[in-house]
Every structure is written in structure tokens, then in C-alpha cells.
Structure 1
């Protein structure tokens, strides 16, 4: 059991370590520049200079506290956008790449069902998703204390734990693209485009008459601002993301189960 998951997971360990270190370096840099940024820049005036659509898209509420600064500079940019896009792109190659390279026939000759193959390949994405959230919270918590702007350990931990179902949902978008398209390059471009389009739709439609359209976007259910500024942990939103991920997985299994492999 789970042979494919273990195999794919081991292949992703090195990249996941590099990803975690890179995100930790980004977190350290953001924390390091905050004291000078706070001292030399009128943050309220800076925010007032940004157009409202930009602030809405980026989810900026305040930068007068380290929590608000991190939410904008680190978590919205690094986790919601960059990691979400990366997981969608990376997962989009899990099935399509083997079909594209003619390796899928070999895998399907093994004694495992197509549904199990899709599920095990998807389960291996837990390695980069969890790995990306191991080192950065330690760096954020310690770094905040070193610059005398301490953050609650529970808030730092929560903002990372709640990102895990969000990232799985983004990976689910990539998985569905991976079974719908039999060329990896096309699947990856579609996954990137759809994920970014969902981010824009959720951001721009919030507060409008079409706000309900944005409810299909995973980004609606993960809000770093709520965690770091208000100490609010949206467990209902996390549950919605889990349900969304399962829906993507089941849809992918059903589609792949009926697909002819050429």
C-alpha cells in the first residue's frame, strides 16, 4: 500500500527542504526590514497612496503592526499567491507528465486501480505542502521577538496550519487539470491560469453584488489578516477547503477512470 506515495514523496523531499529554507529566508528578510520601515516611512500615508483596487486584491488592512506587515508582505504574497500557484503548477504534472511521456501504460500494468493511482500521487503532495510550513513559523516567531515585536505563538502556528488545507485545495486544481489534459505543459498552464483567475475573482468581487461568485475560490477561506491581526481562526473555512479538496480528488478520479490512454 502507498508505494507510489512513498516513491513520489521521497523524490520531493529535497525540493521541499529547499522551498522551506527559501521561504524562511524571505520571512527573515521581511522581519529584518520592518523596524527601519516602521521608523522611516509614514505607513498610513503609504497605504493611502495605493489605489483601492490594489489594496483589495492584496488584502491589505494595515502595515502599522508587524502582524499586518507580515500578512501583506509574506503571507498574502508568499503563501496565498506564490505557494498556491506553485502547488497548482507542480500537481498539474503528476498524471499528465506520465501520459505525455508514455509512461502511464507501465504504471497501469501494475496491480492498482486508476483511482488509487490518482489518490496516491496526490497524497505525495503532502511533502511540499507540510514541508513548506515546518521551518518558517519558527523563523517568524523567533524573529519577531528579536526585533521586540513579539507575536503570539498560537497565531503564528495557526496561520501556517490553516494554510495547509488551502494549499491542498490549490493542489486539487492542479490535479484536475492533470487528468483533463494529457500534455503536462498545457495542464500546468491551465492550472496556473485558473488558480490566479480565482484569486483575482475572489479579491475583486468581495463587497460587490457578485460576491457569491468568489465563493468557489479557495482564497476566500484562508485569511492571514484574520489570524495575525484579530486572532480569529476560521475552522469553518478550513472545513470548506477540505471539502473542496476532496471534491477535486473525486472528480479527478472519476475523469481519469473514464479516460482512454494513448
Structure 2
């Protein structure tokens, strides 16, 4: 049982470890950088030099606090955009790469349904999703404590836990591309472009009158890390919407995978 999941999960362990180290080092730099700016009026400087659209896009808020600084420099830029793109990219390689390299022909002879095969391959992505959230969350909490600052552990936990439905949607979008495209490289590039367009489009059209409704088509609309890490503000409905989108994308992906020629 779940042999495919175990095999795929083991393949992702090394990459997850390397990525966790890289993200932890970047987080350490950002926390140190906060100490360099401590005492300066960072918010006034950003409001003077950075366009309002950029401030909105990067979740810049309360930069004079460690929570606001982490929200803008790590959780909006790195977590929302960077890891969102990473999981879309990872999902885009699930099927298309195996088809392109001929591995799917071997997997197809096993006594396992296509729905289960796709589900087990996708579930291996929980290794980096859970591992990165756990490791980096603990590292950030320790770094903040080390510089003599404090951060609410509940808010920090929430910003990591609530990222998982968002990552599931990102990975599912990539998986859908992987099912309908034959070449892995094309599916992966399309996934990167799609997530970036979602983030950029949501930032541009949000609050723009007649076109503001377009923002609700983007998964980035339903995960706002900066308010969560600052004061724990979030709407549970957003997570429900993301989970609903995840289920719908999975169902569509399975349906298309069942019908396609391998």
C-alpha cells in the first residue's frame, strides 16, 4: 500500500532539506537586517520611495516591528510568491515528466488505478509542504528570540498552517497542467508564469473598480500572511475557499488523467 507515495516522498527528502537550509539562511539574514534598521523610521522611507502598488503587492505593513518586517520580507515575498511558484512547478512535473521520460509506461502496468496513482504522487508533495513550514517556522522563532525581540507563537503558527491550503491549490494548478501537457518543461514553465500572473494580476486589479472582481480568481487573494503574523487577523472562509478549490482541481485533474492517452 502507498508504495508510490513512499518512493516519491523519499525522492523529495534531499531537496526539501536543501531548501529548508536555504530558506533558514535567508530568514537569518532578514532577521539580522531588521537589527540594522532598528530605530529608523522604515515605514516613512518606504512610503516616500516605493509606489503604493508595490507596497500593496509585497504586503508592506508595520515595518518598524519584527512581525511587519517578517511579513513583508519573508512571508509575502518568499512564502506567498516564492514557495507558491515552487509548489506549482513541482506539481507541473508530476505526470508530464514521467510521460516525457517513459516512466509512466512502467507505472501504468502496475495494478493501480490512475486516480490512485495521481493521488499518491501528489501526496508526496506534503513532505516539502509540512517540512518547510515546520523547520523554517521553528528557525524564525529562534532567530527572533536570539535578537531580543518577541513574536506571538500562535500568530507564527497560524501563518504557517494557513499556508498549506494555499500551497495545495498552487500544486494542484501545476498538476492540472502536468496532466494536459506532454512535455514537463512546458508544464513547469507554464506553472511558473501562471502563479506569477495570478500574484501580479491580483495586486494590480485589487481595488480597481470595475475589474476588482478579477482578484478573486487568484489563490493569492485568499492567503494574506502579513496581517496574520502581525496580529493574527485572518478570515476562515478564505481557507475554506482554498480547500474547495483544491478538491475541485484534484477532481478535474483525475478526470482528465483517466481520459488521456499515455
How far 1:38 moved relative to its partner?
A: 2.3
Give structure 2 stretches of 5+ with no counterpart.
none
Aligned length: 261
Q: CA offset at residue 61 of structure 1?
A: 2.2
Contact 1:59 1:203 in 2 (8 A): no
From the superposition, tell whether residues 145 and 87 of structure 1 become closer, same or farther in structure 2 (CA, over 3 Å).
same
Give the corresponding residue for 2:247.
246
Preserved contact between residue 114 and residue 257 of structure 2 (Cα < 8 Å) = yes
Contact 2:168 2:246 in 1 (8 A): yes
Residues 122-172 of structure 1 deviation map (CA, whole Å, 9 limit, x = unaligned): 111101111111111112212222222200010111111111111111111
2:214 aligns to what?
213
Greater shift in the superposed pair: 185-194 or 210-219 = 210-219
Q: Counterpart of 2:19?
A: 19
- Give the match for residue 33 of structure 2: 33
- CA displacement, residues 10-54 of structure 1 (integer Å, 9 cap, x when unaligned): 110111111112111111111111021123564312332101121
Structure 1 214/43 Cα, relative in aligned 2: closer, same or farther at 3 Å? closer
Cα-Cα RMSD? 1.4
Say which is worse superposed, 62-71 or 40-49, in terms of deviation.
40-49
What is the SS of the residue equivalent to 2:122? helix
Question: How far off is 1:104 after superposition?
Answer: 1.2
Question: With structure 2 as the length reference, what TM-score do the two structures score?
Answer: 0.95
Q: Which residue of 2 aligns with 1:95?
A: 95
User: Partner of 1:258 in structure 2?
Assistant: 259
Question: Could you state the TM-score of these two structures normalised by the residue count of structure 1?
Answer: 0.95
CA distance in 1 between counterparts of 2:64 and 2:120 reads 44
Offset at residue 86 of structure 1 (A): 0.8
- Gaps in structure 1 of 5+ consecutive residues: none
Whole-Å Cα distance in 2 between the matches of residues 166 and 118 of structure 1? Answer: 19
| Shift of residue 62, structure 1, vs aligned partner | 2.8
Q: Does structure 1 residue 199 correspond to structure 2 residue 209?
A: no
Single out whichever of 141-150 and 96-105 deviates more from structure 2: 141-150
SS at match of 2:246: helix
* Aligned residues of 1:20 and 1:134 also touching (Cα < 8 A): no
Deviations along 1:45-97, one digit per CA (max 9) or x if unpaired, are 23321011211221222311111111110111111111111111111111001
Q: Which residue of 2 aligns with 1:139?
A: 139
User: Matches of 1:203 and 1:247 in 2, distance apart?
Assistant: 24
Deviations 1:182-208 (CA, angstroms, capped at 9, x unpaired): 100110011111111111111111112
Q: Secondary structure at the match of 1:39?
A: coil
Partners of 1:45 and 1:78 lie apart in 2 by 22
